[in-house]
């Protein structure tokens, strides 16, 4: 492993101090500019060998590192042919592992591509009329979790459904809600409400549970990967207030919104943006503070809903965390826009 540095944040648990310790186990090698440049990480996954795959929506490629953190190769390029990507919408560009293939869901391009041993295998077309798919994650039992957006009478609705990962046939609806993020305006465009209700989901091939929330309510539903509901995590997160800097960063992040589309900054409703399991029964729930580039929030016991503590960690304005294979991948973004990537192990430890 390339590093054993400890990064510690103090939590308060009862009358005793408890620390949430992030231990960087791997610092991933930054590829040379001739090999690849990581521009805009949009999703990550691992395979069972421990190779790390990062979807770069701006670079139109998948970057690969080996289990020791060495950069291996860049897969794909911009285009419409086999093994090529469009990634026109990073929110609807998905990367997952199905136990045999790395699966790349390129929603705007209307295709799903499969890679094995870092080589292109096949392409299937996205089913006609399916709708938009911001989340597609394969599970170890052959199912997949899908966030499906469809319009009904001009109104956008979100459904979180369990599907067969091969046929995409629906198995069970886990959640359904009116999508409040996008509404038609009088000029025929879309008004975008960045602070409103939306699905927040965690699931992947290596997980035994599915977590589903909606960002504004204090409950997160917990399911087994066959769709059986295990219970709810009841949270006590206080509402956050947004600042002018939040608005500026939202405008920068969504610069692709051109007239007649526009962002609308109504009352702030969102309580959290991220669900990260750090162990079988411990869940990190975090809003993202776009003003200063910090993640902050609480760690909960998922069985009792007891708060184990709070935390704050800096990642940079475009940095963040992803969770896969019981591991946290952290992107740290510096003032020049360059990324460093670390694999972290997180655990609660008494002082």
Q: Are 288 and 320 in contact (CB under 8 A)?
A: yes
| Bridge-based pairing state of the strands 41-46 and 16-27 | unpaired
Q: Are 328 and 344 in contact (CB under 8 A)?
A: yes
What pLDDT score does 318 carry?
66
Instruction: Determine the Cα–Cα distance for residues 322 and 318; give it in Å rounded to an integer.
Output: 13
Taking each continuous run of H as one helix and of E as one strand, the counts in the chain are 1, 29
User: pTM of the entire structure?
Assistant: 0.88
What pLDDT score does 23 carry?
83
What pLDDT score does 252 carry?
67
Question: 140 pairs with which residues across the strands?
Answer: none
Instruction: Determine the Cα–Cα distance for residues 123 and 81; give it in Å rounded to an integer.
Output: 10
Instruction: Determine the Cα–Cα distance for residues 133 and 123; give it in Å rounded to an integer.
Output: 17
Q: Are 198 and 215 in contact (CB under 8 A)?
A: yes
Question: 52 pairs with which residues across the strands?
Answer: 46, 65
Written as tens digits, the pLDDT of the chain (351 aa) is 333 334 444 444 443 567 677 788 999 998 877 767 888 888 999 999 999 999 999 899 999 999 999 999 999 999 999 999 999 888 889 999 999 999 999 998 999 999 999 999 999 999 988 999 999 999 999 999 999 999 887 778 899 999 999 999 999 999 999 877 777 788 888 888 877 788 999 999 999 999 999 988 899 999 999 999 999 999 877 666 666 766 776 676 666 678 888 888 766 667 888 898 888 889 988 875 544 667 777 889 999 999 887 777 777 666 777 877 678 888 887 777 778 899 988 878 776
* DSSP three-state, residue 247: helix
Residue 116, φ and ψ in degrees, nearest 5: -135, 135
334 contact partners, CB below 8 Å, separation of at least 6: 316, 340
């Amino acid at each position: 492993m390339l590093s054993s540095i400890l990064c510690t944040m103090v939590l308060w648990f009862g009358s005793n101090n408890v620390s949430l310790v992030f231990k960087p186990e791997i610092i991933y090698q930054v590829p040379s500019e001739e090999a690849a440049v990581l521009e805009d990480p949009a999703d990550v996954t691992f395979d069972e060998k421990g190779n790390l795959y990062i979807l770069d929506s701006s670079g139109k490629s998948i970057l690969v590192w080996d289990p020791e953190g060495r950069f291996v190769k860049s897969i794909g390029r911009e285009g419409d042919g086999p093994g090529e990507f469009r990634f026109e919408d990073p929110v609807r560009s998905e990367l997952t592992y199905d136990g045999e293939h790395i699966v790349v869901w390129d929603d705007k391009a209307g295709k799903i591509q499969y890679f094995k041993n870092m080589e292109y295998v096949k392409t299937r077309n996205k089913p006609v009329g399916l709708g938009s798919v911001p989340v597609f994650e394969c599970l170890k039992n052959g199912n997949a979790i899908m966030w499906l957006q469809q319009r009904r009478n001009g109104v956008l609705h979100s459904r979180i459904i369990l599907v067969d990962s091969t046929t995409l046939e629906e198995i069970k609806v886990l959640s359904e809600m009116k999508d409040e993020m996008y509404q038609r305006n009088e000029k025929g465009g879309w008004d975008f409400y960045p602070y409103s209700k939306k699905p927040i989901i965690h699931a992947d091939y290596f997980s035994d549970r599915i977590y589903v929330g909606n960002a504004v309510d204090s409950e997160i539903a917990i399911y087994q990967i066959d769709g059986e509901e295990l219970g709810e995590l009841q949270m006590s997160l206080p509402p956050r207030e947004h600042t002018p800097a939040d608005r500026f960063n939202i405008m920068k992040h969504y610069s692709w919104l051109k007239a007649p589309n526009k962002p609308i900054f109504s009352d702030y409703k969102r309580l959290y943006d991220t669900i990260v399991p750090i162990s079988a029964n411990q869940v990190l729930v975090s809003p993202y503070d776009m003003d200063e580039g910090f993640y902050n929030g609480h760690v909960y016991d998922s069985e009792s809903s007891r708060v184990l503590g709070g935390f704050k960690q800096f990642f940079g304005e475009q940095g963040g965390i992803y969770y896969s294979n019981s591991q946290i991948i952290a992107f740290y973004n510096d003032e020049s826009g360059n990324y460093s990537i670390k694999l972290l192990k997180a655990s609660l430890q008494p002082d």
